[in-house]
Amino acid sequence: MASEVKVPTLGESVSEATLGEWLKQPGDAVAVDEPIASLETDKVAVEVPSPIAGVMGEHKVAEGATVEVGTVIAVVEEGGAAASSAASSAASPAPAASKADAPTKIAEPAGDGDPDDAPEAPDDQRRAIDGSSGKDGPADREMPTLSPAVRRLVLEHGIDPSRVQGTGKDGRLTKEDVLAAAKKQGEAPAPAPAAASPAPAAAKSAGGERAEERVKMTRMRQTIAKRLKSAQDTAALLTTFNDVDMTAVIAARTRYKDLFEKKHGVRLGFMGFFTKAACLALKDIPNVNAQIDGEEIVYHDYVDVSVAVSAPGGLVVPVIRNAEALSFADIEKTIGDFGARAKAGKLTMEDMTGGTFTISNGGVFGSLMSTPIINPPQSAVLGLHRIEDRPVAIDGKVEIRPMMYLALSYDHRLIDGREAVTFLKIIKDAIEDPTRLLIDL
């Protein structure tokens, strides 16, 4: 008996998605509720579970296709007869040749892979990536499924993917896994290719051969592009800057971080300070926490802070609800949970719905200064940057202090320059004197 697999409900106002990747192929054994496909919506990736235990049947939809809620995308055959047959067939001597003839499927990327040129690997390495055995016999182990972006990194760094433990979904390799393996490999000399092997990639590149890869944008990346461009086209964007002396916050963090972690089970980071400082400033300058709706201004008496988090498919902004009422520990726990679930692809639509103000920390990637773009319908975004020792004048003397640039991008239709400057000044004062956060100044 076969059961149909349909596109599940994806969330409020979301009616369609893109079939990003098949996690199970026809003939594969599946357990009840085991993910068999990954769908990409405008904001998150959603796994489609198997309704029954059995064997994966026909794929009704190809990868990359747009599907609506309720669409039948596959069938699962009940029982394990086909799986047992496939297993016994795999144990026979014949399958080695067929396995060599059938390269491992290359999955669509979870994120936006760079289209940089990728050097060509020697035969043995390329066979490992493609899943084929070459002239010397069948491959001796099951080769992992690789996305185009991961495949490019494997080729560039000369990594054998079958010898790297994947940390992604279902043990698949991620970019981070390949980069870690490349770092571990370090400066160890690569094994000399066999005499029959083709010339290395460098020699081929010198001969004029240049590779390109064309990858379809994920639905999430398309949505990010549309929303950011829409923000530029609709809002009157302006950015104002300030800098802040991080000495007091660094001292407080150094002094209390061990006690904080021991008591609350989470590390004390800088985001807790800036989130609390932002809540303080938003209370005094309510326009920064408001939004334009037609010819009306909507003011919020709560602060839902969208925190920009890096995920495999791109930048996502889960929301810290009622941040003004949360403690430092609650904020740090929430941010830590968002980061872990974003990396694992476990964020939900509800996690990213709403938000009245955004904080984006480009400093973790080394950014010195930027002009962030607002996340509509919000009216402002605070950009944090790297901490850098710089000479500053303190009481008439030059001292070296850990300084950070702050950037506030805002919709000038709603927020005046005076309000934007005042907002940043409140945050600057609170960070340079964290006692203000405790006494609401």
Active-site residue set: 412, 416
**Contact (CB, 8 A) for 379 and 414:** yes
**Contact (CB, 8 A) for 145 and 106:** yes
Task: Please give the structure tokens belonging to residue 242.
Answer: 């300030």
DSSP state string for 310-333: EETTEEE--EETTGGG--HHHHHH
**Contact (CB, 8 A) for 409 and 235:** no
Spatial CB neighbours of 140, under 8 Å, sequence gap ≥ 6: none
262's enclosing H/E stretch is helix 247-264
Q: Tell how strand 388-394 and strand 397-411 pair up.
A: antiparallel
- Read off the DSSP letter of residue 20: E
338's enclosing H/E stretch is helix 328-343
**Contact (CB, 8 A) for 287 and 414:** yes
Three-state SS at 227 = helix
